[in-house]
Chains A and B, each alone.
Chain A
């Protein structure tokens, strides 16, 4: 409690020991990226420690793929004019998986709020975007695994690439980009509701119409006109169609740009909104 000790302690965090100062500073942009990656690392460790999260996010699309392939496939096939239903379906399942997977973003953030971890983060000198960037990035990595798994399942039930491997990988990237954009929507949902059960309940009514009133599983031309208007233009359909073209072949540029425009637009709106909510979250 001597004056010397006190003055030394009140210069900055981290007393300078023989090894130099404990804390350092890097340029702001570098720090922001490092903070986001630190949180992503933490979330991915959590995913590894609780593998059931990964298992369940794989089982659900697996059930969907088998159900649609064998239950609805026969009905839908005639409307596809020669394209096999499984080839039509797998790109849709990819997109659906990415959308449903985004729900984990909401649940993860809401859990952090409930456990008090969010309060600790908010008292740390870390970037205000880091908690959200770390979560959406970790969920992006998880999506890579899930899509890889679904590709394997697809091949097992007759799915084939028709437009070359590079084009297919482009399709996969598009799915991941869309999943990332959806994660930001659900980051906002998670921050807004603040507890995991509510986050899950709140997510479904948003997800269901997006996924089912879309071109993900069926061609939209059998839907009533008013619904078609929505179904054709909404982001799930735009992405599913773009991925489909990349997988099945054909002129892809227009579809791909539309899908990317949706992704960019969604992130541009929801990322700042999410960070704003994080700043004021309690």
Chain B
């Protein structure tokens, strides 16, 4: 019976503010009205000594959506997550989760969020099941529900078979799944995922995406950081791009791409030196300078694929016939490059180059 009084203990935020709580559909006890953003970040700054990690960052996250925080390594993504999850105090500005200030009401915020970090933060000596039970107890899941909740999540994350082995025997992907499962134990309405799929194989990544979509369909708000532009493209309905602690874009993935308004022409020159010569030759013919990545040259065309013929002719006269040519829609990676002037920093070797892989057409 010890939990029977929890309704009375809950702070009723609007009871004194003249707002009637006539309908549970339209008003929520903790989050304000449904139309209010689930997360509000306003003028948020963070300094570490003389280093500025975040500089006056603003964004809102609509409830029940996936929000992508995008940026290269060291852009300030993790710092933002740490502030929003009450781990770090901000140096300036304001951050709210479901209407609760992370600095003034950290305890309330902690009761509303789940966090899965960049490093799989599970106890390696505990089994998967024990890890989830520990989190259940620490998030005050009712005693009668801890066991069933742990079993339920182990099942959902395909960990039932290894549930009773110490987590130190798990593969990296399994540990990551356990980490995300741990974040979900109290069924938090707001979930923070800090680079949830970094280092995961493509299959595990797809599985996690599927899971995130399901959570959001059930009304959970997800803020995820990623270096993988494809991930934001796949999941997020809104994307904020940050670079060196500052917001450089805030839009839907589709709008971001349409701003670019270009077509990407990719030339596979087979050899790096040929790619460099081709780029040199084509410089000046386009608004943006050609971009060279190994043997590949990418051109941003504002005129569809029309310049392709001229490009090929120009190259041919210099004996530089490409091995393969591809014309494609710009990916977020292209957007990122245009916004920041430098590459996204994701490692293409682990599938992070973003955007659908260009299929070279011979």
Listed in ascending order, the chain A residues whose CB lies under 8 Å from chain B are 1-15, 19-26, 30-31, 34-35, 38-39, 41-42, 45-46, 49-50, 115-117, 119-126, 130, 282
By CB atoms of chain A within 10 A, which of B107, B113, B115, B142 has the most?
B142
B188 within 8 A of A: yes
* Chain A residues in 8 Å Cβ range of B113: 123
Interface string of B58-99 (1 = CB under 8 A from A): 000001110000000000000000100111100000000010
Nearest CB of B to A132, in Å: 14
- Whether A14 lies near B218 (C-beta < 8 A) is no
Taking each of A30, A41, A120, which has the highest tally of chain B beta carbons within 10 Å of its own beta carbon? A120
Bin the interface of chain B by size. Answer: 35 or more
Min CB distance A119 to B, Å, is 6
Which of B82, B139, B145, B219 makes the CB contact (< 8 A) with A9?
B219
Q: How far is the CA of A70 from the CA of B110 in the complex (A)?
A: 57
* A12-B123 CB under 8 A given contacts A1-B217, A123-B86, A123-B87: no
B145:A119 contact, CB within 8 angstroms: no
When the two chains form their complex, are residues B187 and A15 in contact, meaning their CB atoms are under 8 A apart? yes
Complex Cα gap A115–B118 (Å): 11
A10 touches B31 (CB 8 A): yes
- 21 A-B pairs with C-beta separation under 8 A: A1-B64, A5-B64, A5-B218, A5-B219, A8-B219, A9-B63, A10-B28, A10-B38, A10-B221, A11-B189, A12-B10, A13-B139, A21-B3, A24-B141, A26-B3, A31-B140, A49-B166, A116-B120, A117-B123, A125-B138, A282-B88
Q: Which B residues form the contact surface with A (CB < 8 A)? A: 2-3, 5-6, 9-10, 24-31, 34, 38, 63-65, 82, 85-88, 98, 107, 110-113, 115, 117-126, 130, 134-135, 137-142, 144-145, 149, 166, 182, 186-189, 216-221
CB distance from A154 to the nearest CB of B (A): 31
Give the distance in Å from the alpha carbon of A115 to the alpha carbon of B168 in the complex: 12
Given known A-B contacts A24-B140, A42-B134, A3 and B25 have beta carbons under 8 A apart: yes
Judge whether A22 and B98 touch: CB under 8 Å: no
Inter-chain contacts of B28 with A (CB < 8 A)? 7, 10-11
Residues of B contacting A26 in the complex (Cβ-Cβ under 8 angstroms): 2-3, 140
Report if A46-B123 is in contact (Cβ < 8 Å); known contacts: A5-B218, A121-B138.
yes
**CB pair A122 B121 closer than 8 Å:** no
Given contacts A38-B138, A49-B166, contact A14 B186 (CB under 8 A): yes
- 18 new A-B contacts, CB < 8 A, other than A49-B125, A120-B135, are A1-B217, A3-B34, A5-B219, A6-B34, A8-B24, A13-B112, A21-B142, A23-B111, A23-B139, A26-B2, A41-B134, A115-B119, A116-B120, A117-B121, A123-B85, A123-B110, A125-B140, A126-B138
Check B219 against A6 for contact (C-beta < 8 Å): yes
**Could you say which of B98, B120, B123 has the most chain A C-beta atoms within 10 Å of its C-beta?**
B123
Q: Closest 5 CB pairs between A and B?
A: A9-B219, A24-B3, A5-B219, A10-B31, A46-B125
